[in-house]
Structure formats: structure tokens, C-alpha cells
Structure 1
């Protein structure tokens, strides 16, 4: 699927960070791009039409897709980027909070995907690009529920790709490590914080802040999105940045005990 002017893309969560960079990069590559944010914004990405959409709301998603189809008659690429973080001990979140996290990070992807697939199947082509995380392939202390959403996204994406390939529709998942965005600042706090975890949670938060100083720019992720949207030889997974590639390699090759110790050291947990 080579990009050309008139080809239509939707990018969710496009008001900032990876979504904004991806929307702008796709526009520069020749796509007609519609970006979404939960609330209307006048400060959207350059050359991108911004529309309000809440990916946790069925009717909002349906309205977005029908609006895009009415304007362009086609949806060629969907970039599922909208997401939220949660830094908390697993015990510190209620089931309701975890359900709300999954409603954005996983079920939001499912809603958007289900909404665009009929038009893609009718045209006999399409690309669905899901913004995952390296935390979808490794554990993450004090991000257990966030990692769970990204692990689930991995399984969903790969399985879906097998199902819809017969219609010339493919799925790719982008796996960045830490990326310089406001994502970590906008993440949720545990709704049942416990003193027993307070010190270790604060240490984990400090480790993340330190790593973010050397994090990859969102434009690096955007390059992978454009590649996945335009290449004729799609890969199922795109690890973005040196850190993500190194972690992925270590996860496959290093003995479990050694990887466990390295992970705990990285997150400043007792080894």
C-alpha cells in the first residue's frame, strides 16, 4: 500500500505526543489525516483535521467513522494511539479502575477497529496500526495493569491480523520504549494507595523520570507508523529505538533469572 494523496488515515489521541507526531508525519507523506481528541481543540497537528472522539463511547466512535466516510468515502489506515498510563502497585487499584484502564487502552482499540473494518473490507484493503509498548512483552513493576493492557493488545493484534488478511487488511503493532511525551505526567494515580507500597512506588516514579530525560522523541515512533502505513512488506511488529530493540533481544536471549535481576536493578527494586 504505497501512500498517495487522497489516501485517508485516522489517528486517535492526536492532540499531543506520539499521536500528534504520527498524524503530522502521515500528512507529510501524502495522507488525508483525521486526528481525534476527547475534547475539541483548535491547536491540532499541522495539516490534520481534528475531530472530537471518545474511544470509550460506542456512539462517539460511530459518529467519527461516519463523518470521515462522508467526507472522503474511504478509510485506508487506522492508527490506534489513544491511551492512558497508571503507575501503581497492582494491589492499589480497584477492579473498577483497572476496567477503566482497559476500556481506553484495549477496548478503545477494539471499538475503533470494529468501526472501520466494514469500510476496509468493502474496499478490499486497509492497515490497522496499534501503538503498543515494550511493556507489552516484558513485566513492569508498578505498571502491572498498564502492562496487562499492552500484553492483551499484542495478542489481539496478532490474532486479528490472521483473521482479516483474507480481505487484504493487515495489522501491525508499534513497540516503543520510553518516549518524550506528557504521557507519564497525565497518567492515573492509584485509587486505593497503600503506605506499604508508597516508598517503592515513589522510587519507580523517580526511575521513570530519570529515564525520560534520555527517552526517544515521538517523531521516531511516527517514522515507524508511516513505514507500517506505506510499506509493501509489512512487519507484524516494529520495535522503535535502541532501548526497545535491546530489551526485546535480551528478553529472548538472556536466561530468565538474569533478566529478572536486570529488570529489578533498572527499576531500583531489591535484587
Structure 2
């Protein structure tokens, strides 16, 4: 069966930003399939089909993509949204949990991209939207590993975009700022907390939580995802909400002043 509508596959769509993105893409005319690690069938939005997917397993990625193609015959847009966070100073994060973070946030994106590219190339078009973060542009204290994964996604996306343009496929980035999506619920605590960082880590965590709770409406980010998926002449990067101003400041403000203000905003001193 081949769908008469364009088909969008959204990873991590059962909740959070992925759910908002799936809903917005559906309203924009896409047949949307979401993924979740632990569920299949229907999501909280009962018109959203879900397939089971673990982006850290090659066989799971292949099975999910094959299931979408078997049902709809096409994948026009892939939104790589599935991800997790990691709290703590770099010294407090074990190598094992940092590897887990990279396996989801970076290698998961690579697995999904590799799985859909042959089909997009065969159909002569496609769009891959990778969800980055403002912390992929401005590394922050107590987010070293998370920032590193998003920097990796930024570089990977830009490189692959060069590689596939001749196949009428584009790879683009959406860069949210603080967004009210419950992201902290999917953020791991450090394996090896150290007294030397305890007070600063707690202050920083509280500041980040306040910024998220007072952050952008997820529908603002979902709107940017739809634009990234549908623009006829897409941009490489789509900063969303508060990230637009921060992205500009990062480029044009004096580096020392910007970094000092960043540390201050995250309650870690001068």
C-alpha cells in the first residue's frame, strides 16, 4: 500500500516534544507514524499510530522502518527526536552512562538516518529533521556530555546534508531552547556524584528547571519542526523560540561577556 499523503516518521513521539511535533505534522497534512520504546498501537493522541522502536538496536530500527514502509509505502520526512539528558559535572558522569547517552542521542540518529536514506533516494526525495538543542551551540556547565552529543548531531547533520543534496534529500536541524515538555523526566543523574560539585550542581539544576518551567510553549518548537519539514528551500538550522535570540547573541556578543552571563544565568558564579 502506498499512502496518497506524505508520510512523516517521528521518533520518541509518545510524549513530550515528539507528541507535539507529531500532532503539528498531522495538522499540516502528513500521515504521521510515531515511535516509542515500550509501546505500539496508539499514543495519547488516538489518531497517532505508534510502532515500537529502540534507537540503540540495529534490528529494532530496521523493523520499525520496514513496518512503516509495509503499511504506507513511503517515508517522506524523518524527525529524529528521541533522546535523553544527563546531569552532572563531566567528572561525575561514568563512561558507561556517557556511552549510553551517545548511543541514543548520536548513534540513534545515525541508525535511523541510514535506515531511511535508501528509501528516500529510491523515491527521489526526502527530508530528515534532527532535533538538536541550544546546548549544541553554547555548551553549558553540568551538561558536558549532553552538549557534546548535540554538537555531534550538529556536525553530523551538516556533513550528511552535503552528501545527499544531489539525491533531492535534505538534512536540517531544529534547535529548541528551554521548552515546557518535561524533559527533566528523561534526564539521568550522575553515577559518581562528588561533594566538590554538589552545591554548584544543585544550584545549576534549579536554575535550569526554572528556565524549563518558564520556557517556550512546545507548540512553538513544533511549528519550527513543520517548517523544517516542509519549506521548499529549507535552511540548515531552525532555532526555535528563545533559542533564536540566544543563537544570535552567541554569534555576535563578545565571547567573555556571553560566557560570564551564561554562568550567571545557571547560578555557577562568574
* Residue number in structure 2 paired with 1:27: 26
Quick check: 1:24–1:46 contact (8 Å CA) kept in 2?
Answer: no
How many residues matched? 267
What is the CA distance between 1:126 and its match in structure 2? 0.1
- Say whether residues 1:199 and 2:224 are aligned partners: no
What is the CA distance between 1:186 and its match in structure 2? 2.3
* Residue number in structure 2 paired with 1:244: 243
* Residue number in structure 2 paired with 1:130: 130
Quick check: 1:172–1:228 contact (8 Å CA) kept in 2?
Answer: yes
TM-score normalised over the length of structure 2: 0.96
- Say whether residues 1:216 and 2:216 are aligned partners: yes
**What's the Cα RMSD here?**
1.2
* Residue number in structure 2 paired with 1:142: 142
* Residue number in structure 2 paired with 1:262: 261
* Residue number in structure 2 paired with 1:91: 91
**CA pair 232-43 structure 1, distance change in 2 beyond 3 A:** closer
CA distance in 2, matches of 1:185, 1:126: 32
* Residue number in structure 1 paired with 2:233: 233
CA distance in 2, matches of 1:32, 1:89: 42
- The more displaced of 56-65 and 46-55 is 46-55
CA distance in 2, matches of 1:44, 1:210: 27
Quick check: 2:43–2:49 contact (8 Å CA) kept in 1?
Answer: no
- Say whether residues 1:112 and 2:112 are aligned partners: yes
Gaps spanning 5+ residues in structure 1: where?
none
Partner of 2:248, secondary structure, is helix
TM-score normalised over the length of structure 1: 0.96
Gaps spanning 5+ residues in structure 2: where?
none
Quick check: 2:80–2:112 contact (8 Å CA) kept in 1?
Answer: yes
CA distance in 1, matches of 2:4, 2:207: 43
Partner of 2:85, secondary structure, is coil
* Residue number in structure 2 paired with 1:253: 252
CA distance in 2, matches of 1:26, 1:65: 18
What is the CA distance between 1:264 and its match in structure 2? 1.0
- The more displaced of 219-228 and 159-168 is 219-228
What is the CA distance between 1:269 and its match in structure 2? 1.4
What is the CA distance between 1:46 and its match in structure 2? 4.3
What is the CA distance between 1:229 and its match in structure 2? 1.2
What is the CA distance between 1:17 and its match in structure 2? 1.1
What is the CA distance between 1:28 and its match in structure 2? 1.2
Quick check: 1:24–1:47 contact (8 Å CA) kept in 2?
Answer: no
